[in-house]
Structure 1
Amino acid sequence: MPFTRRARWSAALLSRFHHPAQIVVTSFGLLVLAGTILLLQPISTVGKPAGLVEALFTATSAVTVTGLAVVDTQAHWSLFGEVVIAALVQVGGLGIMTFATVFAVLIGRRVGVRFRMLAQAETTMLSAADLRSIARRVVVFSLTCEAVFAAVLAWRWMTGYGEPFGQAVYYGVFHSIMAFNHAGFALWPDSLTRFVADPWISLTVSAAVIVGGLGFPVVFELMRTWRKPRAWSVTTRLTVWITLALLAVGTLFLLVAEWDNPKTFGPLDEGGKLLAAFFASTMTRSAGLNSVDIGQMETSSWLISDVLMFIGGASASTAGGIRVTTFGVLAFVIWAELRGEPRVNIGHRRVPESVQRQAITVSLLSMAVVVVSTYLLLVISPFAFDQVLFEVVSAFTTTGLSTGITAQLPAAGQIILTVLMFIGRTGTITLGTALAMKERTRRYELPEERVLVG
């Protein structure tokens, strides 16, 4: 059937996404450049202008929605600088969700087209209207959620802490943007530690992080089918159940490790300890805010946080890490192998071998980046292995939590973390999309030979 004008234009539009790395890397690179230039201006700081490394690091941290900082946000940056940081986080977060969601739809449609072509059925293509609709829904959903969370936070700061209306609204909007977009910037030098026992602040921020970390495709599906879990897609099932499991496991492990620590959970009552543990577990979903001093945590808490940060949040969300779906696929691959199953099944669906290879590739490459970066920082800095590993994992997974050594690293170390943040944000999207969109069909098979493993 001949193409209509709209179909031809849609096909041309789709062809632009054959190299998603070019789109994502260029867009985020230009945004980082613009942010760096703005933060270098004298109006952006209190006192002397920011140095190049400070401005570049902060702009990259904001655009990649990480939240690591080399200077005190409130003390160093002026109101204009804080607004620039918030704007970079907002644009970066919306860009991440939009890019990732559009690419996810493109991948799904591409697979669907192939299947329908094989079935000799009529094919449909993603039109410009679909792209506009996706982008519009992402923006409306994000801004609506941020407005709701900002209103709750502003109300709490007005009624509970006596903040003036304007100041409370500013605090609410700023931290709502940070929480929903999983950035760790805060307007207090100790982040949110002064609110460790306040459930209104802690739970509202946690809710913003969890909702933002689910990803737009999953949230949209849940809005339509939340009463019918059996109708959920495999992606939604993995995202929801693994997210809940990791939140529970993280809360339990951190609660046990920090229960008697006099510098973290020790002074709190039982309810406060549980709240602090849940908040800390939630922040490892790539959020970066903290209600206790991370640098005073036990080494065992750093270890479990490293694992949770490395897993990260959901695909097509502002969270980082290898993603919970990748972790879920790997878990089911191991389970199938232990049971001797020839195929990997999740529920009543079979996972394609290409998806299994993609999960393994993303995970191993991410581990390689973390190992190499940790080695480099150990060489050029005097800090201990566990502290350096924590900072590297936090930067690569765009989490933003810190043991307190980021600002003390030499300039070369801060540049390494800057590159890590950029790779961690753009790499997971581009690599996953590129692997999924570069599937090839081999018309022949080579003879099989088993290789000794283990």
Structure 2
Amino acid sequence: AFNNAGFALFSDNMIGFATDPWICIPLLIAVVLGGIGFPVLFEIARRVRSRARGGRSPHRWSLHTRLTLTVTGVLLVLGPTVVMLFEWSRTLGGFGFWDKMLVATFQGIMPRTAGFNSVDYADVDNATLLVTDVLMFIGGGSGGTAGGIKVTTFALLLFVILAEIRGDREVTVFDRRIDARVQRQALTVALIGVALVMLPVVALLAGTDFDLDVLLFEVVSAFATVGLSTGITAQLPGWGQMILIVLMYLGRIGSITLVSALAARDRGRRYTLPTERPFIG
């Protein structure tokens, strides 16, 4: 769970423990801690040690930590809420009230990006599958064990959109200005992630008889290294399974490697081209 792997030694994953808080809650905590990112954990640990020794900790949290904790908190509430909304009388219908809350919380948090499931995804509503796709695609914190494009990438793009809507010349987050290169890096990572998802989906749609909703779920789960499935993985042809294998590899190392390469690459230019503004939208 801490490694956000989602491997279970039971044929039905965690369905047999769906209403057991002594099993589900420790798994939830481990998933969140592993997926939040080691830079955030290290900063929290430094502050705790500083306070324990009677020293003064820095007044401000780093922007990365504040952004990661804020967006993670929002998604941790949004995921279970969506599951409760769409699955209350469907896959959660056979549980009591408190059991429904536990199962919904488990299923709303696990797509961040650990592949444990306490309900069968083959039975969930299509709306739940789509929202789960989004949660898996976003993933967890940078520098952690989770996959996806990362919550900071997603958050920065939201602030870029907000700045454009407001007409601001600069993108600011928590009283800090975001460098233009970081904005381009976030956009690049997100768009490459979209491409890595859409191309396999199109190929699998053209070569198999499965519907879009289940194929999209399988592909996003592979890209974000989640491990959740609607149960069709074994029914895919060999070439389709190979696509998922390659996608899992690219999804695991792709974003980290790409961001590192973009951050280290700085090509100088001895001239500046004229500025022109094409029509947008």
For residues 156-175 of structure 1, what are the structure 2 equivalents within 5 Å? none
Q: What do the CA deviations read for 1:181-203 (whole angstroms, capped 9, x no partner)?
A: 11121111100011111111111
Deviation above 2 Å: which 4+ runs of structure 1?
Answer: 224-230, 439-445
Is the CA contact (8 Å cut-off) linking 1:225 and 1:231 kept in structure 2?
no
What letter is aligned with 2:265? K
Task: Give the Cα–Cα distance (whole angstroms) in 2 for the partners of residues 439 and 258 of structure 1.
Answer: 49
Question: Structure 1 or 2: larger helix share?
Answer: 1
Which residue of structure 2 lines up, in the alignment, with residue 253 of structure 1? 82
Task: Give the Cα–Cα distance (whole angstroms) in 2 for the partners of residues 273 and 237 of structure 1.
Answer: 31
Is the CA contact (8 Å cut-off) linking 1:377 and 1:413 kept in structure 2?
yes
Q: What do the CA deviations read for 1:267-321 (whole angstroms, capped 9, x no partner)?
A: 1111111111111111110100111111111101000000000000011111000
Q: Secondary structure at the match of 1:266?
A: coil
1:352 and 1:441, CA in 2 relative to 1: closer, same or farther beyond 3 A?
Answer: farther
Is the CA contact (8 Å cut-off) linking 1:225 and 1:232 kept in structure 2?
no
1:302 aligns with one of 112, 116, 129: 129
Greater CA radius of gyration, 1 or 2? 1
What letter is aligned with 1:332? F
Which residue of structure 2 lines up, in the alignment, with residue 321 of structure 1? 148
For residues 91-240 of structure 1, what are the structure 2 equivalents within 5 Å? 179-225=1-47, 231-240=60-69
Task: Give the Cα–Cα distance (whole angstroms) in 1 for the partners of residues 269 and 103 of structure 2.
Answer: 53
1:291 and 1:355, CA in 2 relative to 1: closer, same or farther beyond 3 A?
Answer: same
Task: Give the Cα–Cα distance (whole angstroms) in 2 for the partners of residues 405 and 384 of structure 1.
Answer: 11
> Number of residues paired by the alignment?
274
**Pairing 1:395–2:217 present:** no
Task: Give the Cα–Cα distance (whole angstroms) in 2 for the partners of residues 271 and 441 of structure 1.
Answer: 60
RMSD: 1.3
2:200 aligns with one of 365, 373, 392: 373
Task: Give the Cα–Cα distance (whole angstroms) in 2 for the partners of residues 229 and 452 of structure 1.
Answer: 46
Which residue of structure 1 lines up, in the alignment, with residue 273 of structure 2? 446
What letter is aligned with 2:128? S
1:325 and 1:230, CA in 2 relative to 1: closer, same or farther beyond 3 A?
Answer: farther
Q: Secondary structure at the match of 1:231?
A: coil
Overall identity of the aligned pairs, in %: 52
Task: Give the Cα–Cα distance (whole angstroms) in 2 for the partners of residues 338 and 382 of structure 1.
Answer: 42
Which residue of structure 2 lines up, in the alignment, with residue 386 of structure 1? 213
**Pairing 1:420–2:247 present:** yes
Task: For residue 425 of structure 1, report the CA deviation from its aligned partner.
Answer: 0.6
Task: Give the Cα–Cα distance (whole angstroms) in 2 for the partners of residues 392 and 450 of structure 1.
Answer: 36
Task: Give the Cα–Cα distance (whole angstroms) in 1 for the partners of residues 59 and 240 of structure 2.
Answer: 48
Task: Give the Cα–Cα distance (whole angstroms) in 2 for the partners of residues 211 and 218 of structure 1.
Answer: 10
Which residue of structure 1 lines up, in the alignment, with residue 260 of structure 2? 433
2:174 aligns with one of 338, 347, 354: 347
Is the CA contact (8 Å cut-off) linking 1:284 and 1:308 kept in structure 2?
yes
Which residue of structure 2 lines up, in the alignment, with residue 155 of structure 1? none
